[in-house]
Amino acid sequence: MAGFSLGGGYSRGMIIAVDGPSGSGKSSTARGVADRLGLRFLDTGATYRAVTWSAIEHGLDLDDTAAVAQRARELRLELSTDPLNQFVIADGTDVTAAIREPRISERVSKIATNLDVRKELIRRQREIIDEAQPSGGIVVEGRDIATVVATDAELKVLLTADQEARLARRGAELAVGSVTAEQLRDQIVRRDADDSTVADFQVASDGAVTIDSTDLSLEEVIDVISRLAKEASPRSHDS
């Protein structure tokens, strides 16, 4: 989906925001939509996970909010925005797999509820969104994209699914035996409760479309969002 010029040389593509709770299908859906529409992709959760990894690597007390925020500001972070080739490099180390480990998932909410860390990461997320505009735009997934990070997104989606479906999906995704049932429930139920103290992803924001994926396949969700995106695209209003 080509961008369009607003005059003055600024090229504005399109921003699609996909927010929702853990296991609702945000990442896989957003990647699929980005691939289908030729847009870039940003997994903002990976930025919080990368800071968590770095803070642990540096032996920081995660409750020392000032020290963790300083780490976030100093972290050299490289995120792929290619939906088909995702990687995360933190201070020169490829942490793409490491940031998905249970030891990170269990602690990331502590980082994500550090408001100074949020301020720094939202600044970086917005830079990435701006850099993607000349190439046509970007699909951004997380918890606060429509409400905070990119309030001017042309399409805002709140992607939900019932708790049992989210538990089942996350469970099926993780290697057998890699997490206990308690760890899985912690990753979904406890983390949602923690995350919702700093981001409102339980109720659709103004202008957002709510999609309940409980009984939809991944492809069906990608189809729906892709169609909505084409209708919302700035170019769809060209005369």
Ligand X SMILES: Nc1ncnc2c1ncn2[C@@H]1O[C@H](COP(=O)(O)OP(=O)(O)O)[C@@H](O)[C@H]1O
Q: Which residue ranges make up the site for ligand X (CB under 6 A)?
A: 20, 22-29, 169-170, 173, 213, 216-218, 221
User: Who contacts 188 (Cβ-Cβ below 8 Å, separation ≥6)?
Assistant: 21, 22, 23, 163, 166, 167, 170
Shorter beta-carbon distance to ligand YYY: residue 181 or 239: 181
Shorter beta-carbon distance to ligand X: residue 24 or 114: 24
Cβ 28 vs Cβ 34: under 8 Å: no
- Binding segment (CB under 6 A) for ligand YYY, from list 5-13, 79-87, 90-98, 107-115: 107-115
72: its two tokens: 């976030």
Distance CA 145, CA 168 (A): 25
Residue 142 marked in a binding site: no
Quick check: helix, strand or coil at residue 155? strand
120 binds, among ligand X, ligand YYY, none (CB under 5 to 8 A by kind): none
What is the x/- site pattern for ligand YYY, positions 161-200, by CB under 6 A?
------------------------------x---x--xx-
231: its two tokens: 């209708």
Q: Checking DSSP bridges between strand 88-90 and strand 209-212, what pairing results, if any? A: unpaired
Helices (H), 75-190: 102-105, 108-112, 115-132, 163-173, 181-185
H or E segment to which residue 5 belongs: strand 4-5
- Smallest distance, ligand YYY to C-beta of residue 215, A: 20
- Smallest distance, ligand YYY to C-beta of residue 6, A: 27
71 binds, among ligand X, ligand YYY, none (CB under 5 to 8 A by kind): none
Residues 41-70 that bind ligand YYY (CB under 6 A): 44-45, 48-49
Residues 198-217 that bind ligand YYY (CB under 6 A): 198-199
- Smallest distance, ligand X to C-beta of residue 114, A: 21
- Smallest distance, ligand X to C-beta of residue 173, A: 4
What does each C-alpha distance from 199 to 65, 74, 137 come to in angstroms?
18, 24, 24
Distance CA 133, CA 39 (A): 9
Shorter beta-carbon distance to ligand X: residue 22 or 52: 22
List interacting residues with ligand YYY (CB under 6 A): 22, 27, 44-45, 48-49, 108-109, 112, 142-144, 191, 195, 198-199
